[in-house]
Chain A
Amino acid sequence: MTLRQVLVANRGEIAVRVVRACADEGLRSVVAVSEADRESRAALVADRAVCIGPASATDSYLDIGRVVAAALGTGCDAVHPGYGFLAERPELAEACAEHGLVFVGPPADAIRRGGDKAVARELAESLGIPVGEGSDTLADAVQARAVADGIGYPVVLKAAAGGGGRGMVRVDSGEQLSEAFGRATHEAQQAFGDGRMYLERFITRARHVEVQVLADHHGGIVHLGERDCSTQRRYQKLIEEAPARAVPEEIRRDLCAAAVELCRALDYVGAGTVEFVVDVDRGIWSFLEVNTRVQVEHPVTEMVTGIDIVRAQLAIAGGDRLPVRQSDVVLRGHAVEVRVNAEDPRQDFAPVPGLVSRWVEPVGGGLRIDTHVFGGYRIPPHYDSLLAKVIAHGPDREAALDRLDRGLAHLVIEGVPTTAELLRAVLGAEEFRAERHHTRWIEQEFLPEWRGAPAA
């Protein structure tokens, strides 16, 4: 079916991004907003905004009934969930189908199977994709101990329903395991309503590499290359880049092939990402998880491929075939993205809501800023702290990093503390420039040193 009008069921920069893609696709956009976001940039740039509930996300952005009611009530024929909130809830995909709305995302079944880490892991294993030294779902602490003893410490306990760093506990010895298992399964039960756990060997110097996949309703499926998201703090990504230049070419090829194979087995449709962990020291890799949504860091892939992923999502949802064949996907240059958050890195990254009294975006070739912020914008205390993604593209990594650094230097933000200064320090760090960093580098090595240095 041809889409005409899309309900954007999200907020912040991704809501603005989806509105932009709708405009580019010739679709009308309606943004569902909470009471706190009536005056948001997304609400103002969309064709219409509809207030669906109070500021509390539970009664607005997380309420499937209200989102569907808003889509039906405003005459939309599709719902784009963005990322976070309801994006990976199969119930939303089902509710849309039930009410004749097109869900801009994979079918409910693919969300369910791809999003369940234990199920996805078993599927990957059945396809011969390495899943790392680890376990299936663990019955209890006794079994966990036996598996961990076999693998060797440290290990990491993971919640089957977790993801994005949530529901993970590192365990360094057998003595700690029983207590850690009890606590982790209890926390997972509380947080996700699902206490199932599994465990994996903990890799000391790991790189996080993920592959962007696009699939249509007609069996077409391509990958758009990979991204390196190894610059993380407590499993939260700070900087993402494409391609993953630090990973050997043959490993990157294998990752892309594995991602396509896995998505094919999931009967995947739309944009999805398959995450892997690469053990730098041993030169081996394994499957981590599937993200059944558009990712925060999708722009770096867009910049090196020239393919608009959000437009592709809308086109696929409308029944179109993929805009490209695999042979058309060519990576040009290098792109790097940083996430600028309203957090105080000198106060343990405490989020700071408040008035952005001044906001001026940098200019320059190869620079892109995805944001919902403007001068005079008041950051509500109810949601996450992402202010902007600053993305730079260049002929090579060094050029992209220099452009990004210059962009950050000229990004004027007054009124709230941000992570911009910290990000500039990371971009300039020798380890990062030399690509010797790994997923624990920020907290283990960079931050302790940075905290000791006097503030700029």
Chain B
Amino acid sequence: MSLTPEDVQSLIAAFEASEWDEMTLSIDGTQLALSRSGRPPAGAAAPPPARPAAPDAPGPERPALPSEPARTAPAAAPGVPAGAGGSAGADGALRITAPSVGLFWRSPQPGAPHFVDAGQTVGPDDTVCIVEVMKLMNHVKAGVAGVVRSVEVENGAMVEHGQVLFVLDPVS
């Protein structure tokens, strides 16, 4: 069997709808590697450099593309994957990024204590802030364990999707 472009589209859709960070599939020598971080999934062959001039390229060539978003990752957030959750940067620090455009709130309501402050230790399931989208209060979880080194955004400011909200030191 071989993958048709429609198969690949369905696989990408299934992947996007999943909670997975990466997916690698091998069928008869054709390898499909999908990754949210933009880095090739562990165990996947390196993606081909650039797509060759296309007319003779079969559909299965296309999956090289989903790794693309990383190339256009925001300058403000080097190496940070899209979406919420923490990840390690080059300096070993962890970063928590905004899952959406919206307003950044450090407390569950005005006047209430902050979810977290610098120096505090958080676990992956701890709520660290709210990103509000039109009255919809999205609780953002840390996604990683660490000690909060800094809070990067002023309370109430607008944040963009993927913007760094917190920098953490990993728990050693």
Question: When chains A and B are docked, how far (Å) is the Cα of A69 from the Cα of B69?
Answer: 23
Residues 312-355 of chain A, each 1 if its beta carbon lies under 8 Å from chain B, else 0? 00000000000000000000000000000000101000101111
Pair A381/B12 contact, Cβ less than 8 Å: yes
Cα(A66)–Cα(B102), bound, Å: 7
Return the contact of A354 from the options B5, B54, B69, B100 (Cβ within 8 A). B54
Decide yes or no: A35 and B72 within 8 Å by CB, A74-B158, A417-B54 being known contacts: yes
B94 to chain A, nearest CB (A): 20
* B16–A56 touching, CB < 8 Å: yes
* Secondary structure dominating the interface of A: mixed
Instruction: State whether A65 touches B136 (Cβ < 8 A).
Output: yes
Residue B51 lies at the interface, judged by CB distance under 8 Å to chain A: yes
**Residue in A closest to B58 when the chains form the complex, CB atoms:** A347
Q: Number of B residues contacting the other chain (C-beta, 8 Å)?
A: 33
Chain A residue contacts of B82, Cβ below 8 A? 35, 54-55
Given contacts A354-B51, A416-B54, contact A378 B68 (CB under 8 A): yes
Interface-centre pick from B102, B132, B163 (highest chain A CB count, 10 A): B102
Whether B69 contacts A36 by the Cβ 8 Å rule is yes
List A contacts of B162 (CB < 8 A). Answer: 35, 51
**Chain B residue with the shortest CB-CB distance to A95:** B134
Question: Which chain A residues (43-72) contact chain B, with CB distance < 8 Å?
Answer: 50-56, 59-60, 63-66, 68-70, 72
B41 sits at the interface (CB 8 A): no
A72 to B162, CA, bound (A): 18
Q: Which A residues touch B160, using CB under 8 A?
A: 50-52
**Is A165 part of the contact surface with B, judged by Cβ < 8 Å?**
no
Residues of chain B lying within 8 A (CB to CB) of residue A56 = 16
CA distance A63 to B53 in the complex (A): 35
Are A415 and B54 in contact (CB-based, < 8 A)?
yes
Nearest CB in chain B: distance from A379 CB, A: 9
Q: Mark B58-75, 1 if CB is under 8 A from A, else 0.
A: 010010011011011010
Residue from the list A36, A51, A73, A350 in contact with B68, Cβ < 8 A? A36
**A70 B101 Cβ-Cβ under 8 A:** yes
- For A72, the chain B residues whose CB sits under 8 A away are 158
Question: Do A415 and B72 contact each other (CB < 8 Å), given the known contacts A35-B82, A66-B102?
Answer: no
- If A51-B162, A344-B54, A354-B65 touch, whether A39 touches B72 (CB-CB below 8 Å) is yes
A410 within 8 A of partner (CB): no
Q: Tell me the nearest residue of chain B to A351, going by C-beta.
A: B5
Min Cβ gap A117→B in Å is 28
Q: Is the CB of B161 within 8 A of A380?
A: no
* Contact of A38 with B by CB under 8 A: yes
If A69-B133, A74-B158, A416-B54 touch, whether A350 touches B100 (CB-CB below 8 Å) is no
Determine the distance from Cα of A52 to Cα of B69 in the docked complex, in whole angstroms: 14
Chain B contacts for A73, CB-based, 8 A: 101-103, 158
Cβ of A414 within 8 Å of any chain B Cβ, yes or no, is yes
CA distance A32 to B133 in the complex (A): 14
Query: Smallest CB-CB separation from B36: which chain A residue?
Result: A54
Report the Cα distance A68→B53, complex, angstroms: 40
Q: Does B83 contact A (CB under 8 A)?
A: yes
Say yes or no for A99: interface residue by CB 8 A criterion.
yes
Among B51, B62, B74, B160, find the residue whose CB has the most chain A CB atoms closer than 10 A.
B160
Whether A380 touches B65, Cβ cut-off 8 Å, given contacts A60-B161, A69-B103, is yes
| Contact between chains at A69 and B62 (CB < 8 Å) | no
Q: Which partner residue on chain B sits nearest A32 by CB separation?
A: B101
A52 contacts B100, C-beta separation under 8 Å: yes
B55 within 8 A of A: yes
- Residues in B21-54 with C-beta less than 8 Å from chain A: 50-51, 53-54
With a CB–CB cut-off of 8 A, which chain B residues contact A60? 161
Q: Pick from B50, B53, B71, B134: contact of A69, CB below 8 A.
A: B134
Partner of A35, one of B5, B16, B161: B161
Q: Name the one of B65, B71, B72, B103 contacting A381, with C-beta atoms under 8 angstroms.
A: B65
A350 to B59, CA, bound (A): 9
A344 to B54, CA, bound (A): 9
Most buried by A among B50, B68, B101: B101
**A32→B160 CA distance, assembly (Å):** 10
B161–chain A nearest beta-carbon distance, Å? 4
| B102 nearest in chain A by CB position | A69
Q: List chain A residues, Cβ under 8 A from B50.
A: 355, 357
> Which of A50, A354, A417 gathers the greatest number of chain B CB atoms within 10 Å?
A354
Interface string of B98-132 (1 = CB under 8 A from A): 00111100000000000000000000000000001
Beyond contacts A350-B5, A415-B53: 16 other A-B pairs, Cβ-Cβ < 8 A, are A32-B101, A34-B161, A35-B72, A39-B72, A51-B101, A51-B163, A54-B82, A55-B69, A66-B161, A69-B133, A69-B134, A353-B65, A378-B68, A415-B51, A415-B54, A416-B51
Binding site for B on A (CB under 8 A): 32, 34-36, 38-39, 50-56, 59-60, 63-66, 68-70, 72-74, 95, 99, 344, 346, 350, 352-355, 357, 378, 380-381, 414-417
3 shortest interchain CB distances as A-B pairs: A73-B158, A52-B101, A354-B51
